[in-house]
Chains A and B, each alone.
Chain A
Amino acid sequence: NAGVTQTPKFQVLKTGQSMTLQCAQDMNHNSMYWYRQDPGMGLRLIYYSASEGTTDKGEVPNGYNVSRLNKREFSLRLESAAPSQTSVYFCASSAGGGTSGSGELFFGEGSRLTVL
């Protein structure tokens, strides 16, 4: 039982390059999330997927796209990377939402992305 697995753990990109961060969970959770963490800024929600087949924007969606491939997998794509997207990206999953009684988020180890 690996929990939430993210790949890659580290990535260096040049401005304008594209890449996809992969995330998979093996806890049969319905909801999945992508956050970014910048120093002093806390965790900011990029996109989330309440259930398979749905995705919604979070606080900072510009410059990103997501795909909920199936119940297990939720990927984050940067189409044209910019230096402002240098950050640590965390994927997370939960069984349900805040009103469901099962809202605990389980995080992956994070992916450190640097855009030059």
Chain B
Amino acid sequence: GENVEQHPSTLSVQEGDSAVIKCTYSDSASNYFPWYKQELGKRPQLIIDIRSNVGEKKDQRIAVTLNKTAKHFSLHITETQPEDSAVYFCAAWGRVSSYKLIFGSGTRLLVRP
């Protein structure tokens, strides 16, 4: 079945440093790969997504890269700030059903002031 693996499970960086989170997926017919951020006690919210017709997408300090051949995609956060501290989830749509969104297990990012 569909599977999304996410690494690392926890990540601690100094404020101002960069953070990288990586995901691989087993199989997907979808062209859509989103990233969600979940602050403590709150709901997940979309922060950026990428489609397979582009290899990279940037939005201010956040960027996502996609290698569809290798079936992996990564989230890059530059100039990290304490408010970036949260759990980040990657996701990919399932192969059998493009309505079945499967999430990675999450990365807890801590940005130390």
Q: Residues of A with Cβ closer than 8 Å to B?
A: 31, 33, 35, 40-45, 48, 50, 56, 58-59, 90, 94, 97-101, 103-105, 107-110
Question: What A residues does B46 contact at CB under 8 A?
Answer: 104-105
CA distance in complex: A97, B32 (Å): 9
User: In the complex, A48 Cα to B32 Cα: how many Å?
Assistant: 18
Nearest to B41 among chain A residues (CB) is: A110
Closest 4 CB pairs between A and B?
A98-B93, A98-B30, A97-B99, A50-B99
Contact A56 B97 (CB under 8 A): yes
**B29 touches A (CB below 8 Å):** yes
Q: Is the pair A98, B99 in contact by a Cβ cutoff of 8 Å?
A: yes
Distance A108 CA – B43 CA, assembled complex (angstroms): 7
Residue contact A107 to B45, C-beta cutoff 8 Å: yes
Q: Which residues of chain B are within 8 angstroms of A104 by Cβ–Cβ distance?
A: 34, 46, 49
Contact code string B86-102 (vs A, CB < 8 Å = 1, else 0): 00010011100111111
A108: chain B residues within 8 A (beta carbon): 43
> In the complex, which residue of chain A has the Cβ closest to the Cβ of B51?
A101
* B44 contacts A90, C-beta separation under 8 Å: yes
Q: List 8 A-B contacts (CB under 8 A).
A: A31-B99, A42-B104, A98-B94, A103-B101, A104-B49, A105-B34, A107-B45, A110-B43
Bound: A45/B102 CA distance, A: 7
CA distance A100 to B101 in the complex (A): 13
Measured CA separation A58–B32 after assembly (Å): 19
Residues on A with C-beta less than 8 A from B99 are 31, 48, 50, 56, 97-98
A99 to B111, CA, bound (A): 34
User: Would B31 and A99 count as touching, CB distance under 8 A?
Assistant: yes
Cross-chain contact A90 with B43 (CB below 8 angstroms): yes
Q: Tell me if B73 counts as interface (CB < 8 A to partner A).
A: no
Q: Report the bound CA distance from A35 to B9 in whole Å.
A: 20
